[in-house]
Homo-oligomer: A and B are copies of this chain.
Amino acid sequence: MAVLDESTLADPVALTRALVDIASVSEDEAEITDAIVAALSGRPHLTVQRDGNVVFARTDLGRERRVMLAGHTDTVPHHANFPSRTEGDVMWGCGTSDMKSGTAIALHLAATLTNPRHDLSFAFYDCEEIEAEKNGLNRVAATHPEWLEADFAFLLEPTYAAVEAGCQGTMRVDVRTTGVRAHAARSWLGRNAIHDAAEVLNRLARYEARRVTIDGCEYREGLNAMFISGGVAGNVVPDECVVQINFRFAPDRDIAGAEAHLREVFGGLDVTVVDAAPGALPGLDAPAAKDFLAAVGRPAAAKLGWTDVARFAALGVPAVNYGPGDPNLAHKQDERVEIPKIIECAAVLRDYLSLEA
């Protein structure tokens, strides 16, 4: 079994390298989970629990506020980018950006921050890169909701050391046109459902997406066809065409509001909601959030994308993304992390979470 020794746990860069070098493609996370449990067990300031491949650790020091730090342990499949390789200030390898550098910072703080300013909770969870039903944080939010209770949460997903607050919601709808089949040689006997889809595409093409500013963060919405399909055979006027549409919406709309908006945009057309996930308000007016932003010294930006911060938001916990990786490098063959960003994020969080000198 991989062992994370004290000198590695004390150094977030060495710990990032050690975690990257434990292969942990989604659903193959027993080894990395064992290593995390071993690294945190037996420390007087922590209580450690495990559920499957989710590790939960907490302090109970009677502080006024509780802050959560969370990171997933899985990566997408390797692509000739395992194990890690370091050149100068850059560490290359699968998971360096998304998100073992962030997870390493959380694990480093869990092991070493024995007398923090706030009570701390830590969650290390599995299967973030695959279907939502398998997501470890999703699972424990249902089975152990008390694990996620906090006044403020950090998800150490890659943000390149920026504070990204809240997240967009997302909704998929199918807009379907229905016609009448006919032989292509006698097409006037039918009604072409693909031609009728012109109306759907025209409304998409002329849609003007909102920009909404909440707590100083600008959320930009988007309404896009992701797929279109229609057709029966090479000589048949098609009687169905389906446009699958994705709506990314600012967190001032809830799911019902997003659906009502789409039903207005596509009024008179056949609209079916396929699925949806709510957004998360930035929640930057929470006292712990204000303190952190002051510590970072830069304003927060809106998270454009859906992340697990929405799971905290659903439980009423304001949460931000804050991590050293570059989000544009996630899932790429040349995934890498800049070592100074690891040091910077670890130092900012350590300062923020430490008792003032």
Residues of A within 8 A of B (CB): 168, 170, 172, 183-188, 192, 194-198, 201-202, 204-205, 209, 220, 222, 224-238, 241, 243-244, 246, 248, 304-306
Inter-subunit contact B194/A198 (CB<8 Å): no
Assess whether B243 is in contact with A194, with CB atoms less than 8 Å apart. yes
Report how far A202 CA is from B229 CA in the complex, Å: 17
Name the prevailing secondary structure of the A interface residues: mixed
Contact A197 B201, beta carbon cutoff 8 Å: yes
Q: Are B187 and A224 interface neighbours, CB within 8 A?
A: yes
* CB nearest to A220 among chain B residues: B188
The chain B residue with its CB closest to the CB of A202 is B198
Whether A204 and B197, one on each chain, are in contact in the complex, defined by CB atoms closer than 8 angstroms, is no
B168 touching A224, Cβ below 8 Å: no
Inside 8 A of A241's CB, which chain B residues have their CB?
Answer: 228
Complex Cα distance, B225 from A194, in Å, reads 6
Contacts A184-B246, A188-B220, A304-B185; is A228 near B226 (CB within 8 Å)?
no
Q: Are A168 and B185 in contact, CB atoms less than 8 angstroms apart?
A: yes
- From B226, B228, B234, A246 is in contact (CB under 8 Å) with B234
Distance, CA A197 to CA B225, complexed state (A): 11
Q: Which residues of B contact A236 (CB under 8 A)?
A: 226
**CA gap between A113 and B46 in the complex, in Å:** 105
- Please tell me which one of the listed residues B187, B227, B228, B246 contacts residue A222 in the complex, with CB atoms under 8 A apart: B187
Question: Which B residues lie within 8 Å of A195 (CB)?
Answer: 201, 204-205, 224-225
Chain B residue with the shortest CB-CB distance to A183 = B305
* Docked CA distance A83–B17 (Å): 75
Which has the most chain B C-beta neighbours within 10 Å: A192, A195, A241? A195
